[in-house]
Amino acid sequence: MHRTRHTGFTLIELLVVIAIIAILAAILFPVFARAREKARQTSCLNNIKQLGTAIMMYIQDYDEKFVTTETYWRWYTPMMPYVMNTQIFKCPSLGDDAGNQYTDYSINGVFAHGIAQSKIRLASGTIMIGERRQDSLYDGYHPWPGNGTSWSDMNAYTAADGHNWFAGHLSPDRHNGGSNYAFADGHGKWHKWGQTITPSPPGMHNPEGIIPDTGHWH
């Protein structure tokens, strides 16, 4: 008589398999998460490049001048005829955000008052649009100090209510430790925050030290 031999796993073998699966999951899940965020980063960069192109098209139609919030209030309103899809105003990494339902991108206030394109000599090195900080109401930011003189002191970039209207309006690390930016010549690029304010504030956000003539926060 032959005895039937059981070939199932023992408890120890099952525990070993579970442990191996847990180790593999711990290794692979962060990899998958980074891959997903990289895809969102690329999609966001495409958005911001399209916004840069839209502004360049707008400039050609409006006497080579950038948008003015005095006329339209919201910087993105005059962009509508130049975009194919309003979804480009939304970053896929931000999702539903209570701060601002219209746009996830924040314009540099230098470019929100109808400044002539010819006055921006360092266009390829000047940031025009950044990513809005989560829950921030503002769709623009001020890369110049409130007192007009303390350029290297980040604490000097404050509004009348005391909040920082430069760094306080932008997301420094939306995607993999950095954020996407559109530049004044229309191109877009990912940068770490520190790179954008090197060697000292305001860095690439306002390398020529321009202070627009404005009566409100933009």
pLDDT at site 218:
47
**pLDDT value at position 145?**
95
Structure tokens at 101: 């339902």
- The series of mean pLDDT values per 10 residues for the chain, 218 residues long, is 61 82 78 78 97 97 91 85 93 83 94 95 98 91 94 93 94 96 98 97 97 66
Look up tokens 């000047």; give the residue: 126
**Distance (Å, rounded) from C-alpha 75 to C-alpha 207?**
22
If you compute the radius of gyration of the chain from its CA atoms, what whole number of angstroms results? 24
For the chain, the distance separating the N- and C-terminal CA atoms, rounded to the nearest angstrom, is: 92
Whole-angstrom Cα distance, residue 44 to residue 104? 10
Q: The whole model's pTM is what?
A: 0.83
